[in-house]
Amino acid sequence: MVGLVLVSHSRDLAEALIALVKQVSAQDIPIAAAAGVGPECREFGTDAVAISEAIQSVYSSAHGVLVLMDLGSALLSAEMALEFLPDDMQANIRFCAAPLVEGAIAAGVQIGLGSPLDTIVQEARQALYPKLEQLGEFFETPDNLSTSTDNPPDDSQEIIVEVVNPHGLHIRPAAHFVKTAAQFDADIRVYKLAGPDQPASPPVPATSLSSLMILGVACHDRIGILAAGCEAEQALDELRLLVADNFGEPLEMEETSISDTVMSPNDVLNERKIIPLSEGIAYGPATFYQEPRFRISREPVDRPEREWKRLQGSFQAVRREIEQRHQSAQATFGAENAEIFEAHRYILDDHVLVEQVRERIFNDHLSAAAAWNDSVRKMADSYRDLSDACLQDRVQDVLDIGNQVLSKLFEQEGEMAPPTLVTPGILIVQELSPTFVSQLNPQQVLGLIAQQGGPTDHSSILARSLGIPAIAVPSFSEMLHEHEPSIEGSTSPELVLALDAFHGELWFDPSADLLSQLQQQQSAWQTERRRHLQICHEPAETLEGNRIGIMANAGGSFDADIAERNGAEGIGVLRTEFLYLSRESAPTEDEQIEMLLTLGKSIKGKPIYARTLDIGGDKSVPYLRLPHEENPFLGVRSIRLSLRSIELFTTQLRAILRAAAETDVRIMFPMISQVEELLQTRQRLEEVHHTLDRECLPHRWPIEVAMMVETPSAALLTSSCARYVNYFSIGTNDLTQYTFAAERGNPELNDYTDSLHPAVLHLMHHVVEAAHQNGKHVGVCGELASDPAAIPVLIGLGVDELSLNPANIPAIKTAVRKVSQENASELTAAILQLDTATAVREMIASSSFL
């Protein structure tokens, strides 16, 4: 069954809509919401991590997931959420521009009927037309609307019935009508009569909710029902009874409000989202931690100089503690995770933030606490507004520093420390902070429950380093009150909690049998994890022992951390554009160097191919002032943009060369389509090298240079380009798009997106042969590198390396180890004689000699 995900800025709206959809669906359907942010998700906003989790909770590889969104920024968050999902899952996710409420209802009906994803999407898109028709804003039926333009079959049987429902054929009755009609093997149409036996509109399919709604059937209107087929008579009899029975609703019935819907306690628990933060299983008595409260006065101050001095003293004290924490964290969490606290120092020393506070103190005569708190909250809000989910998670760090300074101003340092647990158990907090987690003792704190947080925030990363299982439960207070109303605010020896942070489960007062089962699961997981990690870090070799390099695609240190844990041999594509987005000015040279060095530490000094800026007019980057282009995918983007933005390009090249002096960074140029572009980039690179030499700044020279093969022209020019590069990386996503002149993401062009099409494979074959003839290696990145079915073909083509989503590395390494190089070469030779992608995949599936 197709899954349905509702993305909304409002949690209340999403929950109410889910209840409404369940009323009209023929059966229970997989539906989830990703809505709201902040405590218990009650603040307006959307979260990419929450969206990805919602998608995974209802995902089925056989049927896919439909995602509906309310406002523009919800779409941005949803698009970002795809980055967190495996490539094979992404292919089965459909975003739809349908109106949220009407679209969800139409989709819910079709999902309950077992309709395929394409049909559900079509019905959702059409859901707005009944309202437009009713308001007179839309008079012609769109071409793609599911009305029948052909005449009903000549042998159609017909009945005419009167609708007596007080509200006419509204959502629930229409949904009942669709469900009933779908049960019969018959072609069933419906029309509304304007006068005696005269149809006011052409017949529409009885299985289309939106088409039925367009009819605008009111109370006491008459409708005609036509049916043809082997079960036509039974269908008409059943539909006649349905209408006569008022669609199962009492005639005097009032509309039931959402709040009237009663759910059992188990249903409520299952509906609530529990987010795994740090994997593991834990159980024990509950202890509640109350965060310190600061009473901040808004009264004007007479001596702003004194307030400023107090604030400076607090800064110094916090700065010393951060340094101490950074030093101790290196031993506890490792150098990479200790950098979290180094970042805290940069927040504290942010000159823009400090100047804002100073102005509030001296100009507005606010106290140090009020000025600091206002400015910190403003900075936190600016992070929340970013579209990048990982950047949104940095709100936690900002508020952490904010509270540390406030604790100094109010002399409440002791209240910031975690409590001492009398008995080891589960600690419940409102929200975790990196400073708080760093002070936890895993021998005392067996598990953590936070009421807000996400798996990519720094607190979760530190909890994983400590090995403390943790979950986020936005509705924990409500669940606790339902279980035990008297418990609140302190240690409760009577209350025992158990949590499964693998699957996001929570139990109150678990039974002895359940605890025994959880212990067994934990032991089995630890054994499997040790075996899994060992295999992940072994080379990926074919049955003959030929090694295939396995690299990772990454956009930041979080991806690099996952890549390192999963056995990546380096970063095959570093998407540096993530550093340029969601900010008001371009990153400085020092910022880029710091980012590259941090990644180098995360990946343990393994090679990093830093792809230069790869954006164009399809991305909103205010400081670049990119002109509007009718087709930005064929416009000034990627290397074309860099060569026209010399200052921007030069800064990035300087940063890469300088960082490469300390870690193994290499340069990759995207979207090369002409040899002339490659010559220009090499010339600019040489000039930057000479400038750094004159400035006596350490940098790597010579440096390895790679180019992306993303256009057919680049593929055909491989031999010419080989003189100027050390390595080729085939970007299969764009190469496929440009080969077929078909935009990725356009649902009407899905038939043109398979990178296993012979046209694309012939280009790849040419690249590999030409590169190898010139002594150069070839890698493949893009979705094809993550497709297990494509692995024998890529090996048969002679590809040397694969670069893929970090999460897919273990599966792809396993796929490589099952392949015979000799047999793969034979298979690929046969595949290159085929004409279609379908034929290619059929041959792979039926192959018996791999």
Going by pLDDT thresholds of 50, 70 and 90, the confidence category of residue 584 is low
Name which of 119-123, 216-220, 626-630 the model is least confident about. Answer: 626-630
Superfamily name with CATH number, domain 146-252 = HPr-like (3.30.1340.10)
How would DSSP label each residue in 545-557? --B-EEEEEESSH
Q: In the CATH scheme, what architecture does the domain 304-415 have?
A: Orthogonal Bundle (1.10)
Q: What is the pTM of this model?
A: 0.47
**How buried is residue 784: exposed, middle or buried, by Cβ count under 10 Å (0-12/13-18/19+)?**
buried
Q: For 762-806, write each residue's pLDDT tens digit.
A: 999 999 999 999 999 999 998 899 888 899 999 999 999 999 877
What is the spatial distance between Cα 564 and Cα 567, in angstroms, rounded to a whole number?
Answer: 5
b/e map 409-444, b = 16+ CB within 10 Å = bbeeeeebebeebeebbbbbbbbbbbbbbbebeeeb
The larger pLDDT score, comparing residue 616 to residue 307, is at 307
The label of the residue with tokens 């010419």 reads: 720
How would DSSP label each residue in 154-184? TT-EEEEEE---TT-S-HHHHHHHHHHHTTS
- Three-state DSSP class for 10? coil
Among this protein's residues, is 219 annotated catalytic? no
> What average pLDDT does this structure show over 677-687?
96
Can you name the CATH fold of 1-145?
A: Rossmann fold (3.40.50)
In the chain, where the domains are located:
1-145, 146-252, 270-289+418-509, 304-415, 549-846
Going by pLDDT thresholds of 50, 70 and 90, the confidence category of residue 147 is very low
Beta strands 222-228 and 157-162: pairing type? antiparallel
User: Catalytic: which of 41, 96, 721, 781?
Assistant: 781
Q: For 239-254, write each residue's pLDDT tens digit.
A: 998 888 888 765 543 3
Among this protein's residues, is 96 annotated catalytic? no
Under 8 Å between Cβ of 732 and 780: yes
Assign domain 549-846 one CATH number from 3.40.50.300, 3.20.20.60, 3.30.365.10, 3.40.50.720.
3.20.20.60
> What average pLDDT does this structure show over 604-613?
95
- Residues of the chain with pLDDT > 90, as a percent, come to 41
| Direct distance between the N- and C-terminal alpha carbons of the chain, in angstroms, rounded to an integer | 33
DSSP state for residue 296 in the 8-state scheme: -
Those residues whose C-beta lies under 8 Å from the C-beta of residue 826, and which sit 6 or more positions away, are 796, 849
> What average pLDDT does this structure show over 466-489?
78
Average model confidence (pLDDT) across the chain: 83
Torsion of CA 706, 707, 708, 714, to 10 degrees: -150
The larger pLDDT score, comparing residue 716 to residue 638, is at 716
User: Catalytic: which of 63, 176, 458, 699?
Assistant: 458
What is the spatial distance between Cα 116 and Cα 238, in angstroms, rounded to a whole number?
Answer: 25
Residue 154 pairs in a beta bridge with none
- Residues of the chain with pLDDT > 70, as a percent, come to 84
Superfamily name with CATH number, domain 270-289+418-509 = Phosphohistidine domain (3.50.30.10)
What is the spatial distance between Cα 457 and Cα 434, in angstroms, rounded to a whole number?
Answer: 9
The label of the residue with tokens 């000039």 reads: 687
> What average pLDDT does this structure show over 269-274?
57
> What average pLDDT does this structure show over 426-432?
91
